[in-house]
Amino acid sequence: MTISSVDVDGSEVTQSKTVHVRLMVSQPVGAVWRRLVSPEGVALWLGEGAILGDKGQSYHCTDGTGGVVRSFHPLEQLRLSWHPDGDSEPSLIELDVTPEGDRTRLRLWHEGLPEAARPALRERWQSRLEALARSV
């Protein structure tokens, strides 16, 4: 498996409270989705210890982050609230998978972020999605 392109759109990060990471995975959407929601895949991109359930179910990572599944549309989209710790304001992560021929476009939006947190979170999501893509 190879990642055919990575696009991190810094202009959107500067203009809003959002981090946006996109990459193309040279695997079909079914394979990417299965890995994305598998326990091993979730550990790679979201964090160790997290298990994603249905809409309304919470998840907790061993690093202290956690949240609630807001929407779960197989082969299309996940939406999660995300708290870096128990005392912080929640933000929203949306992860879309889109088939493009025999490849898959992954797009992650992380909304509602303070300016100071955006660069580190952009790096976090880029590296974690790349690790997920390599594991498919």
What's the number of domains the chain is made of? 1
For 124, the domain range is 3-49+58-135
Q: What is the pLDDT of residues 17-35, one digit of tens each?
A: 999 999 999 999 999 999 9
Asked whether the predicted pLDDT for residue 89 surpasses 90, the reply is no
**Of residues 87, 48, 53, the one with CA closest to residue 69:** 53
From the number of C-beta atoms within 10 Å of its C-beta (0-12, 13-18, 19+), residue 103 rates as: middle
pLDDT for the residue numbered 15:
52
Asked whether the predicted pLDDT for residue 82 surpasses 60, the reply is yes
Question: CATH number of the domain that 40 lies in?
Answer: 3.30.530.20
pTM higher than 0.75: yes
